[in-house]
Structure 1
Amino acid sequence: MANRVMLPLVDHHDPDVDTPENYVGVRHVRRGGHPRFTLVLPRTESMRSSAVSMAGAEHLGLGSIAACLRERGHPVTQLNFQLSTFFNAWDGLADPRSSYEAPAIAAEILATEPDVVGICVTSMTLLESIKVCEIIRAERPDCVLGFGGPHAILCAKELMATFDVLDFIGMNDGERAMSLLGDALRRGVFPCAIPELVTRAPDERDRLVYENYRKMPKGVLDLPVPARDDLLWMLLRAPITESRITTSRGCNYDCTFCIDAMRYDRMWYARSAEQTAEEMEMLHRRLGIDHFWMSDDNFVTGAPSSRRRAREIADELAARNLDVTYRVRFRSDTFNPDPDLLARLAESGLVSAFVGLEAGSAEQLDRFKKRTTVEQHKTCVREMRELGVALQCGFIMFEPYANFDDLEASATFLHEIDEMYLESNFTHSLDVFPGTEIAVDMDRDGLLHPGFNATSPYDAYDFADPNLGWLARAIETSHGGDTITRDKWLYRYRTNLLPRAYRKLGHHRSLDEWKRRELEIIRRLNDANMTFFMSAIGEARRGECGQRYRDFQDTAWVVQREGSTALRELYGEISTALRDRRPPRRRPPVVPVRPADLPPEVAAHLAEAEAALAGYGPFTRTELTGGNLNHSIMLTGPERTFAFRNRSDRSRADIEDYLAELYTAAGMAGLGGSFRLRTMPEEIAAIARARAAGVRTPEVLAHGERWLVRAHIPGEPLGDALTSGTAGPATVLRLLFQLMQAHEGGVVLGDRWGYNEIVDEQGHLHFIDFDVEWVPARPGQDAGLRDMEMAVALFGAVLFAGAQRENLVTALREYGIPLLAEWGYRTTRVADVLGGYCEFYGEPGKRQSALSLDHDTYAAALAFIRELIGLLRSDTPLTTATGCVR
């Protein structure tokens, strides 16, 4: 990692902080040990189609605090209850939690045995979070409870005065303050004068000590790279290739509705280009991330130093030969002084940008104090599209001071730039945050609802024009449920998937045609929504609110559904082209199979199998690689493909002798196990048990005494995928996770060496071939075999990783080995098994099997495996708990 520049930090022995008079009351919190922190992001039920949800639910704010705490030795668990909400939107996974009610959330937090709980709240999650805190306080009275996040910062005094269950509010970003809090609690006291924490005196719980709050030095150059617990949680469950990254904080503008500029005193703080590129390279090479959502409020500002940094980041990415794409945020006037900079960013991988256009009405822009013009908006959008950079449009169609002329001007502008295709661009009303300039104005003018406070929803206000207010509420209410889901997918295709695909396909012969079809679909949606919206405005202007609104809406929504389907089909075609451009897989020659050439018994069984699948035929038959124990044939029908396996009549003695030597070297007997080769009925039963335990393995569709048929998984063996680079370290981490889940379900799969796993076209892992059974000496006592299975999986991964071995071992050091320890595996036993494998495969005269690799491949891999053994045997913990256990 690039050297961090250490900025001034209030030391944990600063006399202004660490003096007896600043400690009111004593809390004995793990005296002599490090306090345990649990950082929480609550779930919100609110659905929105926005750039925020597009980037997923990874929370880098909590990740950065976690990294700072861990750097000082404090254990941290992150609980992000929004992960499933956003994750499932793209991956369709089952939600692991059955309830998000306060008691269930509190129970999960309490299970981490926290000394400190910090919750990042919004107005939508605040009251439920208070309920969670009250449950925790009742169960764990000495636990220190606090809130953070922009909403809590704006309302700190009110929240502390209203809810006495809170011990603190974290102001600004929290890394330094929370670190100092951890140091103080380690000494057994709760300090009431930590900079950037608003606290209270424990003996006078209604008396704030807000006067002790003071700001600490700001900056981001000295902060560690955020902990990636959220990203790891997702990567273990699906082939994620996108991640958030933060390269700067703050904003030096003064928009009336915005809270972020207020938090940073309208200053902008940036990480260096080297730090940014190094983190991107690390995530790309170790975890397979190839698209980055840069979450900065302003990636590049109008300042010359900021533009210079942006150019340096582009240069760093090129110098490191990183084939990645990214999304940033900037203003529409950012590139006026340096128009070539946008082109340089596009060349380096910029494929989309969030631009806060906000309005197409000059009057509204003035009210917002945007300091931009409609013409600057148009110029920016035109230049972006000429460079192939997709637009994520930040837009506020409805705000309390708007009039119908503003709406018509904004709609006309959006239609002109083809942004009326997206419902969220014309359905959202302004979110009003307490303490912002516009909130002060609305309070003065009587537009805020009576009692507007920290717990009020962001839309608790009236519009100056009641008819316009009716339209705003009607349109926003209609944009929910299915329409939001459809809108999110339109947004994702248009601003993420398609621009990334176009960049990868380069000069593909169909590229211009695909872009033409995309624009045709977008313009149909653009026109339909414009007709609907202008008709609705006309009705509301006349005070005829709602008479024909539903008719307007239904007509537009039909076009929306058709457009969404058309865009999905277009992306399906493009996805096929993306798969075709991947490096050619190592494929065995296609060898047709004629039943007449098969042993009579196999031919008879094949006929039985085809008869059982008659509804899917007729079939063409080709050879499948089947290892040493089976005849394997692929049956390809008009719509589906199947794998037929029939036990071979070849002698098993050589295979049994070879495995006996290998497993003896690995110490299987000492681990309390032995092995045997299964009969086909036994393998079918093993597959059924594995599927019942949640293992991803194809279902057996038909079978006999010596044969079975299962669905064929298009893809390639994990070993080949690692060698070719189509799979990487993240796939190996996912392999370990899926094996852990199988073990939790009571299943040891056995023989997981790299060719009994298939990586499908989406990157998911599937387990096949259960010929070899590992048998514990005593039923139910298979802990040693579980350790061995992890070792064998690691050996195969490193063996086949080829050019990726260094990155794989680094990823295993940073993530894989700590996860094994967290999951309860004995890493020293895993190391012992790997040592036995090294001894067996490193022997110059090693006995060869039909599937053995050449000696040079083993020799090259063994050096890395020995390094891995050293890491597994290390007494020094490599990292702390990640919260990715289950």
Structure 2
Amino acid sequence: MRVLLVNPGSEVNPRFNTYAVFPNGLLFLAAVLERAGHEVKVYDNVVDRRKPVDFKDFDPQLIGYSVLTGPDITQAILQSKEFKALYPEARIVWGNVHPSCTPEQTMAEEYIDYVIVGAGETALLQLIDYIEKGSTQPAAIAGLVYRENGQLKMNERASELKNLDELPDPAWHLIDVPKYWQVSLNTSRGCPFRCTFCYNSAFHSGYRGDFSAERIVAQVEHLQQRYGVKFIRFFEDNFTFNRKRLHRFCELVIEKKIKLKWDCEARADLSEKDVDLMARAGCVSVGIGVETGSKRLLEFLKKDIDLDVMQKSFWNIVRHRIMPRIYIMEAVPTETLADYQATRDLLHKMGDTPYFYMRFVPYPGTPIYYYCIEKGLIKPPEKLADWPHFSFNLATRGNLSEVPTEVVTEAFAEYARTYGPRRVRFMWRYNKRFFLSMVKNPLQFFGAVKELIKNTLPVMFNKNTSEAPEIKVEDIRTKKLAETQSEARK
């Protein structure tokens, strides 16, 4: 069968295209389908400027979409309708997180023929077998959502593949590798922890499987030999969870003397031994989901981690000249001014590290999503097309917390205003090697120099200087009290 696999991309912000990463899920699907003898093309709309009409010669018989909650949905809807009009005999299949969490609402759209819930490798093969030969009936395909005599049918979720070594390598040959900002690998699926805001909690399936360290190294070597890759981002929820695998991977890179720089996402519980091995194996940056500096809020979010452990892990990373990438989440349900200030205090204890600021958005299927509905904090979108607007509004203007909206708004303004200076100053203080290494990348280096001259030199050597006025909890309380008293006098 001729299969077209599509990453819809987003028209919300064209700058996202600059930071495109491999559509790894689609590349795994493509490899599995090719191994079974099917003809496959990958259409990544993030970097590929073709339109649905440009696939006339290929004439796809099945078009599979990978759809995340957010602006991707708008493009996926528009493209699916256009594909259906151009290729009326083709079957449209949606998969990935959003349709997996909202299968009934997704299937309410008549142009979508099927939804696959969860991992799609086996289900998609069986679905194609049914369409081509009729030998596998829809009711027998785990994870499939379909229509039968006008009625919606939902099969049980498919069991996950534990040993990812059984999968072929991603079909990298189907994409134009140089167009991507970063080469990325996905070496594991899921996460064993139970954070209530994470999409993994919607599936209740924990850590679902991984590649062995030996297989990861083999993929790295192939990418280096075929594409001259020098930097890889391990683009997954928690690359470091399986410590035995992490250590073996690092040891193999060191033993084989592989010249590689890499980046990953990790839980903030890395030991001195972990970080030492990672640094010696070429790790240059680690992303950590700190979320908040409030112990109470960490417990509410079920992060299952101690603040002291996070700080110790953070400084382990910094001491080994690895650049930390901290994620902070604001406007979380039940968050108070005290919680807000606790986060600021934690960032200060972390050397005023640069951080990525995100307003809280409840994703469908997660425990905190249902909490928000129960408490009347949100009204879920009634139609598939409403989800991008819902998510975008919360991500840019939403506030489901008890923190005054003006404080949340100022927090984002502070983040936008100070991220560059924070990053340059932090590198200069704690990781001059990382800062100076940017000379090898002229665009990156001159961008950093411009940032340094414009924003940072006046404050770099003054440890007591802050780039933005500190928002004090007591100041806000005093302001609110004055406003209340003023209203009472009226």
Q: Shorter-chain TM-score: which interval?
A: 0.7 to 0.9
- Other structure's SS at 2:365 match: coil
Q: Residues 11-410 of structure 1 correspond to what in structure 2 (within 5 A)?
A: 35-47=1-13, 56-83=20-47, 105-108=51-54, 112-122=58-68, 123-160=70-107, 162-187=108-133, 191-193=137-139, 195-201=141-147, 203-204=149-150, 207-210=151-154, 212-219=155-162, 220-229=164-173, 232-235=175-178, 242-263=182-203, 265-301=205-241, 306-335=242-271, 339-410=272-343
Give the Cα–Cα distance (whole angstroms) in 2 for the partners of residues 537 and 39 of structure 1.
Answer: 54
Q: What residue is the counterpart of 1:6 in the other structure?
A: none
Give the conservation status (yes or no) of the 8 Å contact 1:42–1:119.
yes
Give the Cα–Cα distance (whole angstroms) in 2 for the partners of residues 208 and 375 of structure 1.
Answer: 50
Give the Cα–Cα distance (whole angstroms) in 1 for the partners of residues 118 and 281 of structure 2.
Answer: 32
Give the Cα–Cα distance (whole angstroms) in 2 for the partners of residues 60 and 77 of structure 1.
Answer: 14
Give the conservation status (yes or no) of the 8 Å contact 2:354–2:419.
no
**Per-residue displacement from partner, 1:123-152 (whole Å, max 9, x unpaired)?**
322244223222222332221002112112
Q: What residue is the counterpart of 1:499 in the other structure?
A: 434
| Alpha-carbon spacing, 1:309–1:209, altered in 2? closer, same or farther (3 Å) | same
Give the conservation status (yes or no) of the 8 Å contact 1:252–1:261.
no
| Alpha-carbon spacing, 1:318–1:355, altered in 2? closer, same or farther (3 Å) | same
The one of 534, 540, 561 equivalent to 2:471 is 534
- Other structure's SS at 2:290 match: strand
Amino acid at match of 2:215: Q
**Per-residue displacement from partner, 1:629-682 (whole Å, max 9, x unpaired)?**
xxxxxxxxxxxxxxxxxxxxxxxxxxxxxxxxxxxxxxxxxxxxxxxxxxxxxx
Give the Cα–Cα distance (whole angstroms) in 1 for the partners of residues 474 and 290 of structure 2.
Answer: 21
Give the conservation status (yes or no) of the 8 Å contact 1:57–1:82.
no
- Tell me how far 1:218 sits from its aligned partner: 1.9
Q: What residue is the counterpart of 2:446 in the other structure?
A: none
**Per-residue displacement from partner, 1:449-482 (whole Å, max 9, x unpaired)?**
36567543236666455662343246548978xx
Give the conservation status (yes or no) of the 8 Å contact 1:420–1:527.
no
Q: What residue is the counterpart of 1:707 in the other structure?
A: none
- Tell me how far 1:361 sits from its aligned partner: 1.3
- Tell me how far 1:439 sits from its aligned partner: 1.0
- Tell me how far 1:499 sits from its aligned partner: 2.9
Q: What residue is the counterpart of 2:485 in the other structure?
A: none
| Alpha-carbon spacing, 1:111–1:446, altered in 2? closer, same or farther (3 Å) | farther
| Alpha-carbon spacing, 1:217–1:360, altered in 2? closer, same or farther (3 Å) | closer
Give the Cα–Cα distance (whole angstroms) in 2 for the partners of residues 46 and 497 of structure 1.
Answer: 36
Amino acid at match of 2:335: A
Q: What residue is the counterpart of 2:407 in the other structure?
A: 471
- Tell me how far 1:263 sits from its aligned partner: 3.3
**Per-residue displacement from partner, 1:396-452 (whole Å, max 9, x unpaired)?**
133132111111110121123134545x33xx2112101111111111111113656
Amino acid at match of 1:36: R
Q: What residue is the counterpart of 1:429 in the other structure?
A: 359
**Per-residue displacement from partner, 1:825-854 (whole Å, max 9, x unpaired)?**
xxxxxxxxxxxxxxxxxxxxxxxxxxxxxx
- Other structure's SS at 1:221 match: helix
Give the conservation status (yes or no) of the 8 Å contact 2:201–2:366.
no
Give the Cα–Cα distance (whole angstroms) in 1 for the partners of residues 236 and 165 of structure 2.
Answer: 15
For structure 1, the 5+ residue unaligned runs are 1-34, 85-95, 98-104, 506-513, 546-886
Amino acid at match of 1:380: S
For structure 2, the 5+ residue unaligned runs are 441-448, 483-490
- Tell me how far 1:181 sits from its aligned partner: 2.2
Amino acid at match of 1:216: S
Give the conservation status (yes or no) of the 8 Å contact 1:55–1:293.
no
Q: What residue is the counterpart of 1:446 in the other structure?
A: 376
| Alpha-carbon spacing, 1:280–1:190, altered in 2? closer, same or farther (3 Å) | same
Amino acid at match of 1:177: A
Identity of aligned residues (%): 18
Give the Cα–Cα distance (whole angstroms) in 1 for the partners of residues 427 and 85 of structure 2.
Answer: 47
Please give the TM-score of this superposition, normalised by the length of structure 1. Answer: 0.47
Give the conservation status (yes or no) of the 8 Å contact 1:471–1:536.
no
**Per-residue displacement from partner, 1:204-226 (whole Å, max 9, x unpaired)?**
1xx1111x334234221211111
- Tell me how far 1:68 sits from its aligned partner: 0.6
Give the conservation status (yes or no) of the 8 Å contact 1:411–1:530.
no
Give the conservation status (yes or no) of the 8 Å contact 2:270–2:316.
no
- Tell me how far 1:182 sits from its aligned partner: 2.6
| Alpha-carbon spacing, 1:537–1:297, altered in 2? closer, same or farther (3 Å) | farther
Give the conservation status (yes or no) of the 8 Å contact 1:241–1:290.
no
Amino acid at match of 1:282: H
- Tell me how far 1:291 sits from its aligned partner: 0.9
- Other structure's SS at 1:83 match: coil
Amino acid at match of 1:213: E
- Other structure's SS at 1:322 match: coil
| Alpha-carbon spacing, 1:420–1:274, altered in 2? closer, same or farther (3 Å) | closer
- Tell me how far 1:504 sits from its aligned partner: 11
| Alpha-carbon spacing, 1:115–1:62, altered in 2? closer, same or farther (3 Å) | same
Give the Cα–Cα distance (whole angstroms) in 1 for the partners of residues 362 and 411 of structure 2.
Answer: 18
Give the conservation status (yes or no) of the 8 Å contact 1:468–1:540.
no
Amino acid at match of 1:59: P
Give the Cα–Cα distance (whole angstroms) in 2 for the partners of residues 249 and 320 of structure 1.
Answer: 26
- How many residues get paired? 461
- Other structure's SS at 1:209 match: strand
Amino acid at match of 1:260: N
- Other structure's SS at 2:223 match: helix
Give the conservation status (yes or no) of the 8 Å contact 1:420–1:525.
no
More RCO (CA 8 Å, sep 6+): 2
Q: What residue is the counterpart of 1:613 in the other structure?
A: none
Give the Cα–Cα distance (whole angstroms) in 2 for the partners of residues 527 and 406 of structure 1.
Answer: 23
Give the Cα–Cα distance (whole angstroms) in 2 for the partners of residues 334 and 109 of structure 1.
Answer: 47
Give the Cα–Cα distance (whole angstroms) in 1 for the partners of residues 37 and 293 of structure 2.
Answer: 51
- Other structure's SS at 1:534 match: coil
- Other structure's SS at 2:233 match: strand
Give the Cα–Cα distance (whole angstroms) in 2 for the partners of residues 478 and 107 of structure 1.
Answer: 44
- Other structure's SS at 1:531 match: coil
Give the Cα–Cα distance (whole angstroms) in 2 for the partners of residues 541 and 45 of structure 1.
Answer: 43
- Tell me how far 1:159 sits from its aligned partner: 1.4
Give the Cα–Cα distance (whole angstroms) in 2 for the partners of residues 197 and 156 of structure 1.
Answer: 10
Give the Cα–Cα distance (whole angstroms) in 2 for the partners of residues 178 and 400 of structure 1.
Answer: 38
Give the Cα–Cα distance (whole angstroms) in 2 for the partners of residues 500 and 115 of structure 1.
Answer: 50
| Alpha-carbon spacing, 1:158–1:316, altered in 2? closer, same or farther (3 Å) | same
Amino acid at match of 1:143: A
Give the Cα–Cα distance (whole angstroms) in 2 for the partners of residues 447 and 479 of structure 1.
Answer: 25
